[in-house]
A = this chain, B = another copy of it.
Amino acid sequence: MSEKNAIPKKVIYRLSTYHRCLQRLADNGIETVSSGTLAKAAGVNSSQLRKDITYLGQWGTRGLGYPVETLASALRDALRQEKLQPVILVGAGNLGSALLRYQGFQKEGFEVVAAFDADPAAARKRGVNVPLFLEEEMETFLLENPVRLAILCVPAEFAQGVANRLVRAGIQGILNFSPAVLEVPKEIVVNSVDLASELENLSYFIR
């Protein structure tokens, strides 16, 4: 983010989308795709797609389009998806334990290596089969296992406190599902997903 030639955040989101679309094309044995076609699949303007892709270099052939496999691999490279990235999850309540059972992360190169909860027994009943520890053991775990990403699913009132501990323990990125506004040092990256806000937003725009 602070880097000089970092790709803008919005572009990174779109690159993820392009990557998924390319994978589908590759699965169908398609070898080449034009910016127009790929843009339509990704729901964006074709010239935006071309601009986005040139952040990665020049992968297209004029008059032809982009080589599906090559471009997909360039995207994986840019998104640092080549190897499995370990992640921890804090707060294995309803939402947290659902995310633990969710397969979508693994598919995109992330592995939840441990989960922490104030009441691991209750979480275990929810059918979690990821190593599950008492919340206090978080720091010890992180000392022995260098994980950089955390998924935060604790209730809003505890979110800031847990975030502080995560940052002190060396976590560099937090995916925050609580509706709290987290204050963290500027080198730490936070992405927040607020489910209620998303509904409020929809609710506003349906006239």
Contact = CB atoms under 8 A, between A and B. Distances in A.
Contact of A203 (B9, B41, B85, B99): B85
A61 interface: no
Given A189-B206, A206-B189, A207-B3, A107 B196 contact: yes
Q: How many copies of this chain? A: 2
Interface string A6-22: 11010011001100110
A198 B189 CA distance: 11
A135 to B, nearest CB: 20
B98 A16 contact: no
A173 B202 contact: yes
A149 B206 contact: yes
A36 to B, nearest CB: 15
